[in-house]
Amino acid sequence: MTENLLSRTATLVSGRACDAEIVPMPDLGLPHNVRRIHGGFYTGAFYQWESTVPMVPVDATVNLCGVSLFRVDDDFADERHFRERVAAARAVLSDRSSYVWNFTSGNHFVILAENRTPGVLPQGRYLVLHASAAEFKNQYNGLYPAPGNWYHEEVRVLAGPDGRYLRYLSGKPAERFASMVSMIEAYQHERQRMCAALILGSEARITEEICSVLHYGMPDASSIAIGCQWLSGDDPRSLLLTRPGAPLFLVRSEAGGSNEVHTAHGPRTLTPHGLGVQATLPLGLGFGADHLLIGGRRVGLEESLAGGDFVAIRDFSPQTDLPRILAECPGTVEAELQQVYSYHRTQEGP
């Protein structure tokens, strides 16, 4: 249905028939964001549409998010020292910067990992950061469809069956939206470097930036990726996330498979950023104008499923899950990183 609504909306604004396509990843699952679910946008998928006039579906709740991997000096004496450094970085960002600390939001984290096997990736310790550009979320200048923001009055609605509808921008507002997303890409990468340097205590502690890969954003002005990485042939490496405490895998993806798509910037290889979540009960989704019926319960569009009993992180088995993912999205595992210390929303204290 989402594919149909995207096609119908693009056709409407373009004045001619336009196609749309959704490419699911092996980790397709429910987001915590109820408005995004209501809009028909799930985590672990790539959404693309044709259009001769700029168009953006706002309930995809676009922002920029990604994972960065840094090779670092062994700078943490123990777990307490690691947590003290993270707390010190949080204090600086919260009190003395314009950044919004969000490493305890959703599935974001800071991880100190270790590569214990010599190979493509040198042995040693690595810092892994997962966070989004929260400074461009719900604020007036943000990208989320928040009441009273810069594009609030420009949102249009295309009605679909069974209570479904697609809210969108078209023309100049959509063009500006896509331009902002493009601009924030470089900002997001630099944000990760800044946070890494603060946690380590010095930029000099970063020996090498191995990769910094987005898995949430707009690969071009007519596509959106949610929990889905889009890799170029020049930079095909990314981290496969698993679950708290489990190994992380550095994967070099192969181009030319069924997971390759064409964007305005050239071909891109789609890969999952992790295992995602799974539903814990029958969902039976129903759509109201201002709510979602899920699992027999009424949930408001501004609510979140985080912390509830609707979804849970998938289990991970390197013997079964890793081969399954690589079969659908071919690539080579270059390194297995063991988690040493981690900081996320359920482990926030010092």
**Per-residue three-class SS string for 337-348:** EEEEEEECCCCC
Report residue 348 as tokens.
Answer: 């926030």
Please state, in angstroms and as integers, the Cα–Cα distance from residue 23 to each residue in 28, 102, 129, 217, 283, following that order: 10, 29, 26, 15, 22
**Does residue 214 lie in a domain region?**
yes
Residue 140 sits in which domain range? 2-343
Other Cβ atoms within 10 Å of 336 Cβ, number: 17
Encoding tokens for residue 113?
Answer: 């990992």
**Reported confidence tier of residue 328, pLDDT bands at 50, 70, 90:** very high
pLDDT tens digit sequence for 245-258: 889 999 999 998 99
pLDDT at 146: 92
Chain centre distance of CA 126? 21
Give just the sign of the alpha carbon dihedral 91, 95, 99, 102. Answer: positive
pLDDT > 70 in the chain, percent: 95
> How many CB atoms neighbour CB 247 within 10 A?
16
Residue 318 domain-assigned? yes
276 — pLDDT class (breaks 50, 70, 90):
low
Q: What is the pTM of this model?
A: 0.93
Q: pLDDT grade, residue 321 (50/70/90)?
A: confident
Average pLDDT over residues 209-218: 97
Q: Does residue 349 lie within any of the structural domains? A: no
Q: Which of 312, 305, 313 is nearest to 243 (CA)?
A: 313
- DSSP string of 195-206? HHHHHHTSGGGE
- Considering its fold, how many domains does the chain have in total? 1
Task: Tell me: pLDDT of 350 over 50.
Answer: no
CA-CA distance, 156 to 231, in Å (whole number)?
Answer: 32
Determine the Cα–Cα distance for residues 327 and 18; give it in Å rounded to an integer.
31
Among 221-230, 263-272, 341-350, which is the least confidently predicted range?
Answer: 341-350
Q: Quick one: pLDDT at residue 252?
A: 96
Packed helices 172-200 and 79-96: angle between N→C axes, nearest 10 degrees: 130
Dist CA 66 CA 318 (whole Å) = 23
The structure tokens listed for 18 are 């336009």
DSSP 102: -
- The C-alpha atoms of residue 203 and residue 143 are separated, in whole angstroms, by 30
67 inside domain: yes
Task: With a cut of 80, say whether residue 312 has pLDDT above it.
Answer: no
Task: Tell me, yes or no, whether 350 lies in a domain.
Answer: no
CB atoms within 10 A of CB 162: 8
CB 14 within 8 A of CB 52: yes
In the block, which residue shows the tokens 């027999």?
Answer: 296
Examine residue 158 and state whether it is found in any structural domain, yes or no: yes
Q: Is residue 348 part of a domain?
A: no
Q: What are phi and psi of 159, to 5 degrees?
A: -80, 145
Domain-embedded: residue 140: yes
Who's near 280: CB < 8 A, 6+ residues apart?
309, 310, 311, 312
Answer left, alpha or beta for residue 166, where phi above 0 means left and psi between -120 and 50 means alpha.
beta
